[in-house]
A and B are shown apart, each in its own frame.
Chain A
Amino acid sequence: MTPPVESEPMTDLPPLLRSTRRHFFERCGIGLGSMALGSILGGNAPARDVGRSRSNDPLAPRPGHLEPRAKRVIYLFMAGGPSQLELFDHKPELQRLHNQPIPSSYLEGKRFAFMDTFAKEPPRLLGTRRAFARHGDSGAWVSECLPHTARVADDLTFVKSVWTEPVNHAPAKLYMNSGTTQFGRPSMGAWLTYGIGSEADDLPGFVVLQSGPRGPRGGSVLWGSGFLPTAYQGVPFRNGPEPILDLSRPEGVSPADQAATLDAIGDLNRRRLDSTGDPEIATRIASYEMAFRMQTSAPELIDLSGESKATLDLYGVEPGVPSFATNCLLARRLVERGTRFVQLYHTNWDHHGGPTENLEDSLDTVCRDVDRACAALVTDLKARGLLQDTLVIWGGEFGRTPMGEVREKIGRNHHPDAFTMWMAGGGVKPGLTLGETDEFGFSGIEDRVHVHDLQATILHLLGLDHTRLTYRFQGRDFRLTDVGGRVVEKLLA
C-alpha cells in the first residue's frame, strides 16, 4: 500500500468518486490520517462503468496491484482437519510399521493437541486401511475414499506439504483465515473485497455457506472483517428460502407495499441529503437500493429450477435439501453473478476415534458428503469456461498425525506439520503435485508451504501483492500474511 502519510494524487478520479471515496474512508472510523485517499491500493483507480453507479459503494470493483490470474475464489473449508493419510498422502512405510511406537526423534520439541493422551503410553504409528491408487495422466495419489475427486485429478493441484502453527481447532481456523491466532484481524475474504471489491452489485461480495452436522468452531470471527469496515465481512447464507438474513418482507407486506415504503424512504432521505449536504446519506440511499435489488436477486440465486437435471445429478443435489452439494452449486451461481469470495464450511472432519468421530464410518460419511460435489464443481466450472479464472481451494485447518489415538475406534490427532490441500483453476498448474513428506507423512521434506505462503499465493493469483495490501491500525500496517509469506511460484501456471 502507499506510504500511509503521503497520499497519491487523485487527479485521475472523477470528482464524484473522489469525494465519495474520501468520504467513505473518513467515515469508516479508523485511520483517516493514515489512509491514502486516491485508491485503496495506491494506484489511481479509474472509475469503472459497471452499469449502475457504484460510486457510493465500498465494494465497487477496482484493480489490484498485478494482472490477476483469477477473478474469484471458492474456498471449500473442510472443518475439523481431514486426514491427509487416509485421502492423499500415500505412506507404505507407515503401513509396514503399523502399531510400532513412533521413533522418539519425531516427537522432540513438538506440541500436539491432547498431549495427555500421548502421556498415557507412547504413541504408535497407524497405517491406513484405505487403498490408494494413482489417477489421471498426472498420476496423482488419491485414496478410494474420494473416487469422484480422483476422476478430476488432472484438473487439480495438490500441495502435500502445507504446514501451520496452531494445534487447536478455533485458533487454527482463525490462522488459516486471518493469518494469526489473535482476534480482531480481517479474514481472507474481507482482505480480498477490501482490496479489489466485488463485481456483484446485487449480491454480497463475500458469502459464507455452511453444511454438515454443526457449525464450524470459532463462529463469526472466521469471516469477520476485524479492523476493516464491516462492509467487508462475510455474509453467512442460511439454508431455506431466505438465504440472507431479513431478506423477506415482513408477513402481510406485499411487494407493492414494500416498494411504496422504499420510495418514501428514498424521497425523504434525499430531502435530508439536500438540507445537510452529508454524503453519508447518499451512501445510505445506495444501500437501500442495493437491499431492494437483493430482495430479487437472492431468491433468484437460490432458485435452482433453472438448473438441468444433469447438473443437479452431477452435483448430487436434491432440490430443497440443504447439503454441501447444494452449497457447491450455489457457489457456482454466486461466482457467475460476480461474488468475489465464496467460502463453504463443511463439518465434521475431526476424526479422533470417538464413536461418532473416527476414521471408519464417520470418515466414509463425510467423504460421501463432499466428494461428488467437489468434483462436480470443478467439472461444471470448467464446462462453463469459469474455471480458468476461478480459484477453487480445498482443505482444513490442519492435518492429522501419523500416530493413532487410543479411543473406541480408529482415529488420529491434530497435526500441524504437514497436510494436504488442493487447488484448481485460476492460475494454478493443473495436474501438479507439489511437496513431499517424510516416510510417515509427519513433516514436509520438500517444498514446504506455510499457511502464510498459501495466503500470499492466493492474493497473488487475485492480483494483489500481499506485502502491499495493508491497513494501518494501532500504529502498524497490518496484512493478511502478518510478517511472513512468499508466493509459491511453483504453483503458478
Chain B
Amino acid sequence: MTRPQPSRAPARLCTLLLASAGLLAPVGGRAEEPVSFSRQIRPILADSCFSCHGPDANARKANLRLDTVDGATADLGGFAAIVPGSPEESEVLLRIEEELAEHRMPPPDSGKSLSRNQIDLIRRWIEQGAPWEGHWAFSPPSRVEPPPVVDEEWCRNPIDRFILSPLERDGIAPSPVADRVTLIRRASLDVIGLPPTPEEVDAFLADDSPDAYEALIDRLLASPHFGERWGRLWLDMARYADSNGYSIDAPREIWLYRDWVIDALNRDLPFDEFTLDQLAGDLRPGATTEQLVATGFHRNTPINQEGGIDREQFRIESVIDRLNTTGTVWLGLTVGCAQCHDHKYDPISQVDYYRLFAFLNSVDEPTIPVASPEDIARREEIERQVADYLSEIERDPKLLAIQKSWEENLDAPARQRQSQEVREAFDATPFDKRTPEANRVVFAAFIDQSDAPEVTPHREALQKIKADLPSIPTTMVVREQASPRETRFLMGGDFTRPGEVVEPGVPSVLPPLRSRSAGRPDRLDLARWLVDPANPLTARVTVNRIWQAYFGRGIVETGEDFGTQGTPPSHPELLDWLATEFVARGWSQKAIHRLILTSNAYRQASAHRPELSEIDPGNRRLARQSRLRIEAELIRDSALVASGLLHPKIGGPSVFPPQPDGVMSLGQVDRGWTADQGPDRYRRGMYTFFWRATPHPLLVGFDAPDGTFACTRRARSNTPLQALMLLNDEAFFEFASALADRVLATGPTDDAGRIDLAFRLCLARHPDEAESARLAELLEGQRAHALGNSGAGADPEAAERSAWTAVARVLLNLDEFITRE
C-alpha cells in the first residue's frame, strides 16, 4: 500500500517539540498544515498504544496492531481502527474521545491519557489521509542542502545554517560569540580535557591573525591529550574498569585496551576501522597484536567470581551484556528490551534478539601477554624453572605439615585475599585429600607467604630464579572459537529454558547483512554491517554523541535510544547532514570535531537569556551555548593543572592517588589502597584505578559511571557531598597548598598581582575589581588571623602560605572552576 508522503515541515519542528513536551498550550487554527506522522503521530501512538497494540505479538490486545499501516487500517469486521480521510469512521478516534472511562483508550489503568491537543492532532492526521511513514531513524539519512539564511555573515560552515535558519524564522537572534578567554578555556576543556595555562591564553589573545581560532582548534585536536579526553568518554560506553565487579571484585589487567583507545583516537583511526577492531579484531585477516588488544572492548563485562555460581548463567549474562552494549553504542537501540519478549515499541522481535546473540555467542576469553617474543620466551623459561623447583619440594612432608597449619590459620580476610585459583583450590578439596598436582597452586602461595623459617630459603631461591623475570603486561581479549557454539532462543530470556536453534542474523527492519563468504556469517560480518554506509543508525548515533559532548545535549537527546520511544531530533536535517558528512569524510572523527568546533553555533556565549527561558527552557534551539559542569576526572585534572602538579604521562597501568581511609572496606573484600607517592600521585583522573565495588569517591560523587553497563551520557548532579569533597578532601587541600606555593614562588610580589595570577591559573580570565577585592579581603583576614594565632613566635612565611592556601581553596571551589562556560 503506497500512500502520499507529506512534505516535511521543519518550520514547525521546534514548536512541535515543545508541544510534545507539554510546554505549550494547545494550538488551534492550523488545520490545513500537514501533520507529520513520524514526528507528531507516531510518538503519541508509541507512547500510549504500542504496549498493547504494537510489535510484541504476545502482548497484543484485540488483535489490533497500530505500528504498521496494514494493521492500523485492517478490516476488523466491518470497521477499522483508522479509515484514512474519515475521522468519524475511525475506531481509534471514537475510542480516544469516548466519554465513558471504561470504554476509553488508553484504558485508565494503563496510567496513560491523551491530551486534547494530541487527540486533535490525530484527527487532523486522519483527515489528511493518515499518511504513513516509517520511523525516521530506520530510513537512511537523506542529505539536505543547508537551508538559506538572512544573516549569511553569521554562518561559518553549513552547521550554522541549520541552526540559524529556524531561529531566524521565529525572530530569535543567536547569542554573540563568547569572549576569547572563554573560547580558549571552553575548547581546551572540551577537546583535551585540560584548562589552558595563562601562557596559552596570552598567546591566543595576542594572535590577531584571522584564523587564530582555527589554529587553536587544530593545535588542540593534534594534542596527545585529545585521545585521553575523548577516550574516557568512549570508555564510559565500553564499561571499562580495573576490577571484575560483583562481590569478589578481584583486580584485572586490561589497561592496554584503555591505551589502545587513546592511541586510536589520537591517530584518528577511521570510525569504521575503530569499530571492526574492537568488535572483531581477532577475525580480521592477519590480525595484529593491536587488533587483538582492541577486542578488549567486549571483555570489560563484569565477572562474577562468587563461590557456587553456575558458570553457564554468567557466561550468558556476558553475551547479553555485549549484545545490549553493541545495540546501545552503535545502533542507539534498546535491543535489550527484546531479550525476554518482542520489543514493545520497536520492530525487534525476540527471535531477532537471539539471532544477534548468535554472533557473539562463540567466543573464548583468553588473557594474552603483550611483549616481544624474546621477553615472552624468557618468561616461559623462568616459569618452567619455578615449576621444576616447586616439584622438587612439594612432596616434602615437613613442608606439607607447615603448609597445613599455615592454611588452617588463615582467617577469612586472609583467605579472601588469595588469588582466584588458590581460593578455588581451597574450595575444591580439603588439604588432606589434595594430590600434589591439585596442591601446586596453594603450595606456591604458601611458599610465597609463609614466614616459617623452613620456608624462607626456598622463597629466596625462587626469588633468585625470578630476579630477571621480564615484566610483561597482559590484557584480556576475545577469540572466536574454532567451531561456533549452537545458539538457542531462550524462553522468557531464561537460560534454563532453551528453545529452537537460531542462526545469526540481523533485524529485518534494518538493511540486510552481507556476509564475506557463503558460510555462516560471523562477528566480523556483523561489525562490517554496523559500519556499512547503508546502515541508517551508526553514523547518526556517533555524530550525535560527539554533538552531545559539545553542547551538553544531543540533537537526539536520548542518544542511547533512536527508536520510537526516543526523543525526536531537534534538528533532523542537521543530524542527517552530519551523518552523511561523517561517512563522506572517511569516518574521520576529528573531521566532525573540527566542523563542530569551528561553527559559530559552538562559539556562542553561554549566558542565560531570560527572554528565551519560556520558549526554549532546555536550550534545544541553541540560540546560546550551554554552561556545563565538567566531568569528575576533569575536575581533578583542572586542579592538577592549576596547581602545577599534573604529571602528564599518557597510558600505563592504573594509579592510586590519595583517597580517604575507609572507602575500600565498603566492599566484601577489603582490597586496601596505598596512595602513590611519586609522580603517579598526580596523574589525570582517568588513570585512577577503578574498583567496581569501591570506586574512588571523587569519581562516584561527580557522576562518573560505575563501569557495570554502557553509559552514553553522564548525569550532572549538584550535591552537598561534592561540596564537601572539594572543600575538605586531602587531595584537594594538597592541590590548594601547591597552588598557593606556586603563586608565591612564581608570581609577582604584590597581593593584587598574585591574586590575578591565581585567578588566571584557575579560571583563565582576570578577576574583575570586585572579585579581586573580595579575595584580597579574605587574604588579609586570613593573614592577620594566622599571624595573630601564632603569637610572638609567628612565622610570617607559614602565615603567608596559609593565607594564600585559603585563597586557593576558594578558587578551586568556585562553580566557575568546575564549569565549562
Residues of A within 8 A of B (CB): 1, 3-7, 19, 22-23, 26-34, 36-37, 111-115, 117, 167-171, 182-184, 204, 210, 213-221, 224, 229-231, 233, 235-236, 238-240, 244-250, 252-254, 256-258, 260-265, 267-269, 271-272, 275-281, 283-285, 287-288, 290-291, 294-295, 347-348, 355-357, 408, 413-414, 467-468, 474-476
Expressed in whole angstroms, the Cα–Cα distance for A303 and B668 within the complex equals: 28
Cβ-neighbour of A261 out of B609, B706, B810 (below 8 A): B810
Interface centre among B412, B723, B814, B821 (most CB of A within 10 A): B723
Cβ-neighbour of B706 out of A111, A224, A277, A347 (below 8 A): A224
Task: Please tell me if the beta carbons of B306 and A238 are within 8 angstroms of each other in the complex.
Answer: no
Closest 5 CB pairs of A and B: A475-B565, A219-B693, A217-B247, A277-B608, A114-B308
**B133 within 8 Å of A (CB atoms):** no
Task: Please tell me if the beta carbons of B309 and A168 are within 8 angstroms of each other in the complex.
Answer: yes
Expressed in whole angstroms, the Cα–Cα distance for A254 and B788 within the complex equals: 13
Contact status of A214 and B668, CB under 8 A, knowing A267-B774, A475-B566: yes
Cβ-neighbour of A5 out of B47, B627, B708, B813 (below 8 A): B47
Cβ-neighbour of A3 out of B111, B708, B733 (below 8 A): B111
Q: Render B17-60 as a binary contact track against A, CB cut-off 8 A, 1 for contact.
A: 10011110000000000000000000110011000000000000
Task: Please tell me if the beta carbons of A276 and B608 are within 8 angstroms of each other in the complex.
Answer: yes
Cβ-neighbour of A220 out of B44, B47, B308, B706 (below 8 A): B706
* Smallest beta-carbon distance A445→chain B, Å: 23
Expressed in whole angstroms, the Cα–Cα distance for A114 and B306 within the complex equals: 10
Q: Could you list 13 further interchain pairs (A-B, Cβ under 8 angstroms) beyond the known A238-B662, A278-B627, A476-B565?
A: A6-B114, A170-B247, A204-B721, A218-B693, A220-B695, A236-B666, A246-B728, A248-B728, A252-B802, A271-B771, A272-B814, A280-B629, A356-B412
Contact status of A113 and B309, CB under 8 A, knowing A184-B708, A284-B815, A467-B111: yes
Residues of B within 8 A of A5 (CB): 20-22, 43-44, 47, 118
Task: Please tell me if the beta carbons of B666 and A272 are within 8 angstroms of each other in the complex.
Answer: no
Expressed in whole angstroms, the Cα–Cα distance for A231 and B473 within the complex equals: 39
**B714 within 8 Å of A (CB atoms):** yes
Residues of A within 8 A of B802 (CB): 252, 257
* Smallest beta-carbon distance A455→chain B, Å: 18
Residue of chain A at shortest CB distance from B716 = A29
Task: Please tell me if the beta carbons of A7 and B23 are within 8 angstroms of each other in the complex.
Answer: yes
**B246 within 8 Å of A (CB atoms):** yes
Contact status of A6 and B22, CB under 8 A, knowing A28-B716, A214-B670: yes
Residues of B within 8 A of A22 (CB): 617
Task: Please tell me if the beta carbons of B724 and A246 are within 8 angstroms of each other in the complex.
Answer: yes
Residues of A within 8 A of B113 (CB): 3, 6
Residue of chain A at shortest CB distance from B247 = A217
Cβ-neighbour of A7 out of B21, B114, B306 (below 8 A): B21
Q: Render B300-340 as a binary contact track against A, CB cut-off 8 A, 1 for contact.
A: 00101011111000000000000000001000001001000
* Smallest beta-carbon distance B612→chain A, Å: 11
Q: Render B386-416 as a binary contact track against A, CB cut-off 8 A, 1 for contact.
A: 0000000000000000000000100111001
**B700 within 8 Å of A (CB atoms):** yes
Q: Render B690-722 as a binary contact track against A, CB cut-off 8 A, 1 for contact.
A: 001111010011010010110001111111111
Contact status of A214 and B806, CB under 8 A, knowing A27-B716, A245-B721, A287-B723: no
Expressed in whole angstroms, the Cα–Cα distance for A467 and B789 within the complex equals: 61
* Smallest beta-carbon distance B343→chain A, Å: 10
Task: Please tell me if the beta carbons of A268 and B47 are within 8 angstroms of each other in the complex.
Answer: no
Interface centre among B553, B670, B720 (most CB of A within 10 A): B720
Contact status of A291 and B247, CB under 8 A, knowing A5-B20, A114-B308: no
19 A-B residue pairs with Cβ-Cβ distance under 8 Å, sorted by A, are A5-B21, A7-B22, A29-B703, A34-B567, A37-B22, A220-B706, A231-B719, A245-B663, A246-B729, A247-B724, A247-B728, A257-B802, A261-B813, A278-B627, A281-B815, A283-B718, A287-B718, A287-B720, A291-B723
* Smallest beta-carbon distance A394→chain B, Å: 21
* Smallest beta-carbon distance B572→chain A, Å: 15
Q: Render B643-683 as a binary contact track against A, CB cut-off 8 A, 1 for contact.
A: 00000000000000000101101111110000000000000
* Smallest beta-carbon distance B321→chain A, Å: 9
Expressed in whole angstroms, the Cα–Cα distance for A22 and B411 within the complex equals: 53
Task: Please tell me if the beta carbons of B112 and A184 are within 8 angstroms of each other in the complex.
Answer: no
**B115 within 8 Å of A (CB atoms):** yes
**B782 within 8 Å of A (CB atoms):** yes
* Smallest beta-carbon distance B241→chain A, Å: 11
What DSSP secondary structure best describes chain B's contact surface? Answer: loop
Task: Please tell me if the beta carbons of B665 and A215 are within 8 angstroms of each other in the complex.
Answer: yes
* Smallest beta-carbon distance B684→chain A, Å: 21
Residue of chain A at shortest CB distance from B730 = A250
Task: Please tell me if the beta carbons of A356 and B411 are within 8 angstroms of each other in the complex.
Answer: yes
Residues of B within 8 A of A221 (CB): 692-693, 706, 708
Contact status of A468 and B111, CB under 8 A, knowing A257-B782, A271-B771: yes
Task: Please tell me if the beta carbons of A277 and B782 are within 8 angstroms of each other in the complex.
Answer: no
* Smallest beta-carbon distance A258→chain B, Å: 8
Contact status of A245 and B111, CB under 8 A, knowing A113-B308, A114-B308, A218-B246: no
Residues of B within 8 A of A246 (CB): 660, 697, 721, 724-725, 727-729
Expressed in whole angstroms, the Cα–Cα distance for A37 and B809 within the complex equals: 36
Task: Please tell me if the beta carbons of A210 and B666 are within 8 angstroms of each other in the complex.
Answer: yes
Residues of A within 8 A of B821 (CB): 276
**B558 within 8 Å of A (CB atoms):** yes
Residue of chain B at shortest CB distance from A184 = B709
Task: Please tell me if the beta carbons of A474 and B561 are within 8 angstroms of each other in the complex.
Answer: yes
**B563 within 8 Å of A (CB atoms):** yes
Residues of B within 8 A of A7 (CB): 21-23
Task: Please tell me if the beta carbons of B561 and A475 are within 8 angstroms of each other in the complex.
Answer: yes
Task: Please tell me if the beta carbons of A169 and B306 are within 8 angstroms of each other in the complex.
Answer: yes
Expressed in whole angstroms, the Cα–Cα distance for A3 and B112 within the complex equals: 5
Expressed in whole angstroms, the Cα–Cα distance for A355 and B115 within the complex equals: 65
Cβ-neighbour of A4 out of B47, B309, B561, B613 (below 8 A): B47
Task: Please tell me if the beta carbons of B770 and A271 are within 8 angstroms of each other in the complex.
Answer: yes
Residues of A within 8 A of B48 (CB): 3
Residues of A within 8 A of B246 (CB): 170-171, 217-218
Cβ-neighbour of B666 out of A29, A168, A215, A261 (below 8 A): A215
**B557 within 8 Å of A (CB atoms):** yes
Task: Please tell me if the beta carbons of B666 and A245 are within 8 angstroms of each other in the complex.
Answer: no
Residues of A within 8 A of B551 (CB): none
Residues of A within 8 A of B701 (CB): 230
Residues of B within 8 A of A348 (CB): 412
Task: Please tell me if the beta carbons of A219 and B667 are within 8 angstroms of each other in the complex.
Answer: yes
Residues of B within 8 A of A249 (CB): 727-728
Cβ-neighbour of B618 out of A26, A111, A263 (below 8 A): A26
* Smallest beta-carbon distance A234→chain B, Å: 11
**B345 within 8 Å of A (CB atoms):** yes
Expressed in whole angstroms, the Cα–Cα distance for A258 and B516 within the complex equals: 67
- Please provide the chain B residues from 798 to 814 with a CB less than 8 Å away from any CB of chain A in the complex: 802, 806, 809-810, 813-814
Task: Please tell me if the beta carbons of A277 and B610 are within 8 angstroms of each other in the complex.
Answer: yes
Residue of chain A at shortest CB distance from B814 = A268
Expressed in whole angstroms, the Cα–Cα distance for A168 and B311 within the complex equals: 12
**B576 within 8 Å of A (CB atoms):** no
Cβ-neighbour of B724 out of A224, A233, A245 (below 8 A): A245
